Amino acid sequence: MVLSHRLGEWAGHAPVLEEEVAFANIALDLLGQARVLLSLAGDEDELAYLREERAFRNLQLVEQPNGDFAHTIARQLYFSTYQHLLYDRLATGDGPFAPLAAKAVKEVAYHRDHAEQWTLRLGDGTDESHARMRRACEALWRFTGEMFQPVQGLDVDGEQLRPAWLESVGEVLRRATLTLPEGPQSGAWSAGAGRQGLHTEPFGRMLAEMQHLHRSHPGASW
Amino acid sequence: MATAAAQKTDHTAPYDGDGTAATAEYERAFDAAVAADERIEPRDWMPDAYRATLVRQIAQHAHSEIIGMQPEANWITRAPSLRRKAILMAKVQDEAGHGLYLYSAAETLGTGRDELLDKLHSGRQKYSSIFNYPTLTWADVGAIGWLVDGAAITNQVPLCRCSYGPYARAMVRICKEESFHQRQGYELLLALSRGTPEQHAMAQDAVDRWWWPSLMMFGPPDDASQHSAQSMAWKIKRHSNDELRQRFVDICVPQAESLGLTLPDPDLKWNEERGHYDFGPIDWTEFWEVLKGNGPCNEQRITQRRRAHEEGAWVREAAAAYAAKHSETGATRA
> What count of CB pairs under 8 Å joins A to B?
146
- Selection from B213, B211, B245, B214 nearest residue B228 by Cα: B245
Kindly tell me if the per-residue pLDDT of B10 is higher than 50. Answer: no
Interchain pair B82, A21: CB under 8 A: no
Burial of residue B88, with CB atoms counted within 10 A of its CB: 0-12 exposed, 13-18 middle, 19 or more buried: buried
- Selection from A174, A66, A64 nearest residue A120 by Cα: A174
**CA-CA-CA-CA torsion sign (A41, A42, A43, A46):** negative
Query: Residue B329 — pLDDT band, cuts 50, 70, 90?
Result: low
Query: Residue B145 — pLDDT band, cuts 50, 70, 90?
Result: very high
- Please give the pLDDT value at position A87: 96
Helix (H) or strand (E) holding B297: none
Using a CB-CB distance cutoff of 8 angstroms, which residues of chain B are in contact with residue A220?
80, 195-196, 198-199
Residue-averaged pLDDT of chain B: 92
CB A125 within 8 A of CB B318: yes
CB B264 within 8 A of CB B238: no
- Please give the pLDDT value at position A193: 86
A75 CA to centre of own chain: 6
φ, ψ (nearest 5 deg) of residue A213: -65, -45
The residue of A29, A36, A222 whose CB has the most chain B CBs within 10 angstroms, and thus the best one to mutate to test that interface, is: A222
pLDDT tens series, chain A, 222 aa: 999 999 999 999 999 999 999 999 999 999 999 999 999 999 999 999 999 999 999 999 999 999 999 999 999 999 999 999 999 999 998 888 999 999 999 999 999 999 999 999 999 999 999 999 999 999 999 999 999 988 888 878 889 999 999 999 999 999 999 999 999 998 777 667 888 899 999 999 999 999 999 999 999 999
Kindly tell me if the per-residue pLDDT of B160 is higher than 80. Answer: yes
Summarize pLDDT for B71-99 with one digit per residue, the tens: 999 999 999 999 999 999 999 999 999 99
Interchain pair A27, B92: CB under 8 A: no
Min distance A60 CA to chain B CA atoms (Å): 19
Span B320-333, mean pLDDT? 76
What span, in angstroms and rounded, lies between the C-alpha atoms of B23 and B48? 11
The residue of A126, A205, A212, A215 whose CB has the most chain B CBs within 10 angstroms, and thus the best one to mutate to test that interface, is: A126
Summarize pLDDT for B29-56 with one digit per residue, the tens: 999 999 999 999 999 999 999 999 999 9
Helix (H) or strand (E) holding B15: none
Query: Residue B328 — pLDDT band, cuts 50, 70, 90?
Result: low
B276: helix, coil or strand? strand
CB A133 within 8 A of CB A120: no
Kindly tell me if the per-residue pLDDT of B15 is higher than 70. Answer: no
Beta partners for residue B270, in sequence order: B277
Summarize pLDDT for B285-315 with one digit per residue, the tens: 999 999 999 999 999 999 999 999 999 999 9
- Please give the pLDDT value at position B29: 93
- Please give the pLDDT value at position B330: 47
Kindly tell me if the per-residue pLDDT of B20 is higher than 80. Answer: no
Interchain pair A28, B138: CB under 8 A: no
Kindly tell me if the per-residue pLDDT of B169 is higher than 80. Answer: yes
Span B189-212, mean pLDDT? 98
- Selection from B327, B328, B314 nearest residue A126 by Cα: B314
- Please give the pLDDT value at position B67: 98
CB B218 within 8 A of CB B250: no
Kindly tell me if the per-residue pLDDT of B6 is higher than 50. Answer: no
Residues in Cβ contact with B28 at an 8 Å cutoff, skipping those fewer than 6 apart:
none
Beta partners for residue B40, in sequence order: B164
Percent of chain B residues topping a pLDDT of 70: 92
What span, in angstroms and rounded, lies between the C-alpha atoms of B334 and B332? 6
Kindly tell me if the per-residue pLDDT of B273 is higher than 50. Answer: yes
Using a CB-CB distance cutoff of 8 angstroms, which residues of chain B are in contact with residue A214?
80-81
Among partner residues B79, B304, B317, which is closest to A126 by beta-carbon distance? B317
Using a CB-CB distance cutoff of 8 angstroms, which residues of chain A are in contact with residue B320?
125
Q: Per-residue DSSP letters for B194-208?
A: TS-HHHHHHHHHHHH
Kindly tell me if the per-residue pLDDT of B14 is higher than 50. Answer: no
